[in-house]
């Protein structure tokens, strides 16, 4: 089967894989501040408007929208807010003053019960978005997409136990990553303000597919006839990827207590181009209408990479910025393995992706040979060094461990160990721990490897590590040519299988 990955694929993929930057974690106040309620009304006549009412008790004089995103617009998210008004419980008007960006000052003493009302005009597609409109808000013929950032004005910082109720046309339904308060009613409880801001919502005539494992729900939202027609295959792929990750790790995502979540929403809509973005634990994907198999593959790749971060990134996370190579690169390795596992890649296309995407980006990156991949701040500027370099470090270490232990152990054991140790805690791992765990796994001291390739700036000789297994690999002219050895002993063919995720 012939397979190629043109520039468009790489550009889109690189853009999106870099969007998974960790958001600052917030520690929530222990005290409950009850009574924060949003009601959102969308009508079919004016479906590009969302009328919002927010009732709350004043905590401070600042009303604000998310501080993340919409940086290209002077008024930021407030550019889409119209008819902003506030009244007391008794209906007495309160003065609101415009401040810079998406912020306002409300003239009301602390503790005043306020009903704030405003309308969001869904005009986001009139602007250009560096990360794509999929991280903002957009309308399709079959419904509307909002991020929490685009929709909610907030008061105070660390609120918990919020509620939202939607009023939508009768023939519509709504998908959110929140818990429904009562079956059949579009009311939801939202654990924290971060869950509100980081949410993604779709309202319309879409289809939903929920995949549940233990206490964890993956909510697939599919919009547009082309996408809905592939509902079964999307569902099968996603289920296969999810089961692979759960089996690998030994459980569902187990985040830190202050970032607890039991649902992730993945919203896939047909659109004019292919795009993807992750916010919090949620993923937004646009697939080009009438697009080829490639567009679909980009979508699946984005999904599989971002989804893996619910374990490698959310269930266990580094304490410092010096392990981005591990977070992103090892996620890339398991993304490839998961796509192979579900049959989306075969041996040939897996190896071609390794060269056409990852090796080429590594080879072209002028940070390689000059910067250390522990410099996590450089991950956007030096995708090749950190995302590809991290993947190559993963492959090298997997080959070292498998060879040294006659395939008894592998990188999978490290991933499982980190999940067991840090899942459900607010502790994280360090660079030193990764180094010593890898040394322990193979029984071979990895300090020279780390000194040269991780903390040091030397280029990883990927061919040497692939040749430890049953591959013939050679690096030349900016490419790595990899083929399977014709004759290899049982041990090395088992190690070869390990690269693909067959254990
Ligand atoms: Zn990532």
Residue 237 within any structural domain of the chain: yes
Residue 9: pLDDT band with limits 50, 70, 90: low
Alpha carbon distance 294, 376 (integer Å): 30
| Cβ–Cβ < 8 Å for 391, 360 | no
Query: What average pLDDT does the segment 455-464 reach?
Result: 97
Q: What is the pLDDT of residue 92?
A: 97
Residue 22 within any structural domain of the chain: no
Render pLDDT for 373-430 as a digit per residue (tens, 0 to 9): 999 999 889 999 999 999 999 999 999 999 999 999 999 999 999 999 999 999 999 9
Q: What are phi and psi of 188, to 5 degrees?
A: -135, 145
Nearest to 392 by CA among 470, 300, 475, 315: 475
Residue 2 within any structural domain of the chain: no
112 and 230 in a common domain: yes
126 and 100 in a common domain: yes
Alpha carbon distance 62, 56 (integer Å): 13
Alpha carbon distance 79, 169 (integer Å): 26
454 and 381 in a common domain: yes
Residue 61: pLDDT band with limits 50, 70, 90: very high
Nearest to 384 by CA among 367, 369, 371: 367
| Cβ–Cβ < 8 Å for 309, 227 | no
417 CA to centre of ligand 1 in angstroms:
20
334 and 285 in a common domain: no
Render pLDDT for 215-259 as a digit per residue (tens, 0 to 9): 999 999 999 999 999 899 889 999 999 999 999 999 999 998 888
Element (H or E) spanning 203, and its range?
strand 200-204
Alpha carbon distance 388, 330 (integer Å): 9
Residue 484: pLDDT band with limits 50, 70, 90: confident
Distances (CA, A) of 478 to 360, 364, 474, 475: 6, 8, 10, 7
19 CA to centre of ligand 1 in angstroms:
7
Looking at 269, 287, 308, which one is the last position of a domain?
308
Residue range(s) defining the domain that contains residue 140 = 37-308
Looking at 284, 308, 332, which one is the last position of a domain?
308
Greater model confidence, 159 or 278: 159
Residue 4: pLDDT band with limits 50, 70, 90: very low
327 CA to centre of ligand 1 in angstroms:
7
% of the chain residues with pLDDT over 90: 80
Alpha carbon distance 257, 369 (integer Å): 40
pTM across the whole model: 0.86
Tell whether the model's pLDDT for residue 490 goes beyond 70: no
15 CA to centre of ligand 1 in angstroms:
10
Tell whether the model's pLDDT for residue 161 goes beyond 70: yes
Tell whether the model's pLDDT for residue 32 goes beyond 80: no
139 CA to centre of ligand 1 in angstroms:
27
Q: What is the pLDDT of residue 181?
A: 94
478 CA to centre of ligand 1 in angstroms:
24
328 CA to centre of ligand 1 in angstroms:
5
339 and 253 in a common domain: no
17 CA to centre of ligand 1 in angstroms:
5
Tell whether the model's pLDDT for residue 21 goes beyond 70: no
Looking at 308, 327, 354, which one is the last position of a domain?
308
Q: Look at 192-196, 218-222, 288-292, 321-325 and tell me which has the smallest mean pLDDT.
A: 288-292
Q: What is the pLDDT of residue 261?
A: 87
What's 57's domain CATH number?
Answer: 2.60.40.3650
Q: What is the pLDDT of residue 297?
A: 75
Tell whether the model's pLDDT for residue 500 goes beyond 50: yes
216 and 95 in a common domain: yes
Residue 5 within any structural domain of the chain: no
232 CA to centre of ligand 1 in angstroms:
26
Residue 55 within any structural domain of the chain: yes
76 CA to centre of ligand 1 in angstroms:
26
274 CA to centre of ligand 1 in angstroms:
18
112 CA to centre of ligand 1 in angstroms:
43
DSSP symbol at 455: S
Residue 16 within any structural domain of the chain: no
- The whole-chain average pLDDT of the chain stands at 91
In the chain, what is the straight-line distance between the N-terminal and C-terminal CA atoms, in Å? 24
Q: What is the pLDDT of residue 292?
A: 77
Alpha carbon distance 69, 320 (integer Å): 24
Residue 206: pLDDT band with limits 50, 70, 90: very high
238 and 215 in a common domain: yes
Tell whether the model's pLDDT for residue 194 goes beyond 50: yes
211 and 345 in a common domain: no
| Cβ–Cβ < 8 Å for 61, 97 | no
333 and 303 in a common domain: no
Tell whether the model's pLDDT for residue 122 goes beyond 90: yes
256 and 331 in a common domain: no
Q: What is the pLDDT of residue 184?
A: 84
Greater model confidence, 230 or 60: 60
Tell whether the model's pLDDT for residue 17 goes beyond 90: no
395 CA to centre of ligand 1 in angstroms:
17
Residue 488 within any structural domain of the chain: yes
Tell whether the model's pLDDT for residue 5 goes beyond 80: no
253 and 385 in a common domain: no
Residue 229 within any structural domain of the chain: yes
Domain count, the chain: 2
Query: What average pLDDT does the segment 158-162 reach?
Result: 93
406 and 296 in a common domain: no
């Amino acid at each position: 089967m012939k397979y190629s990955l043109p520039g468009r694929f790489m550009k889109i993929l690189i853009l999106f894989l870099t969007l998974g930057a960790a958001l600052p974690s917030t520690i929530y106040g222990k005290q409950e501040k009850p009574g924060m309620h949003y009601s959102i009304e969308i009508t079919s006549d004016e479906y590009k408007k969302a009328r919002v009412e927010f009732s709350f008790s004043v905590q401070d004089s600042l009303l604000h929208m998310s501080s993340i995103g919409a940086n290209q617009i002077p008024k930021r998210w407030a550019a889409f807010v119209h008819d902003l008004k506030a009244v007391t419980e008794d209906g007495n008007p309160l003065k609101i003053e415009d401040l810079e960006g998406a912020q306002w000052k409300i003239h009301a003493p602390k503790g005043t019960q306020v009903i704030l009302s405003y309308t969001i005009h869904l005009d986001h597609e009139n602007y250009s978005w560096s990360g794509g409109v999929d991280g903002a808000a957009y309308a399709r013929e079959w419904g509307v997409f909002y991020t929490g950032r685009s929709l909610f004005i907030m008061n105070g910082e660390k609120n918990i136990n919020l509620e939202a109720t939607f009023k939508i046309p009768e023939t519509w339904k709504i998908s959110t990553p929140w818990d429904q308060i009562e079956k059949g009613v579009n009311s939801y409880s939202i654990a924290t303000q971060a869950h509100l801001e980081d949410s993604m919502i779709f309202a319309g005539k879409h289809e939903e597919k929920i995949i549940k494992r233990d206490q964890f729900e993956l909510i697939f939202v599919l919009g547009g006839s082309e996408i809905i027609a592939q509902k079964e295959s999307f569902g099968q792929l996603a289920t296969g990827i999810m089961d692979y990750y759960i089996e690998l790790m030994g459980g569902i995502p187990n985040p830190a207590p202050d970032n607890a979540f039991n649902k992730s929403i993945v919203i896939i809509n047909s659109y004019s181009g292919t795009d993807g973005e992750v916010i919090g634990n949620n993923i937004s994907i646009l697939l080009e209408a009438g697009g080829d198999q490639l567009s679909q593959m980009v979508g699946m790749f984005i999904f599989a990479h971002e989804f893996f971060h619910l374990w490698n990134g959310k269930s266990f996370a580094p304490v410092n910025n010096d392990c981005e190579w591990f977070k992103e690169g090892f996620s890339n390795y398991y993304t490839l393995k998961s796509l192979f596992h579900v049959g989306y890649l075969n041996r040939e296309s897996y190896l071609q992706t390794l060269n056409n995407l990852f090796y080429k980006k590594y080879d072209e990156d002028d940070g390689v040979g000059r910067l250390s991949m522990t410099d996590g701040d450089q991950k956007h500027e030096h995708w090749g060094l950190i995302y590809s370099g991290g993947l190559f470090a993963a492959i090298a270490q997997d080959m070292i461990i498998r060879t040294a232990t006659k395939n008894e152990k592998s990188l999978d054991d490290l991933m499982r160990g980190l999940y067991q140790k840090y899942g459900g805690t607010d502790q994280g791992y360090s660079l030193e721990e990764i180094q010593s765990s890898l040394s322990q796994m193979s029984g071979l001291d990895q300090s020279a490897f780390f000194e040269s390739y991780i903390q040091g700036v030397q280029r990883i000789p990927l061919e040497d590590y692939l040749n430890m297994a049953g591959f013939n690999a050679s690096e030349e002219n900016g490419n790595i040519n990899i083929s399977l050895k014709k004759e290899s002993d049982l041990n090395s063919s088992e190690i070869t299988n390990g690269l693909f995720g067959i254990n």
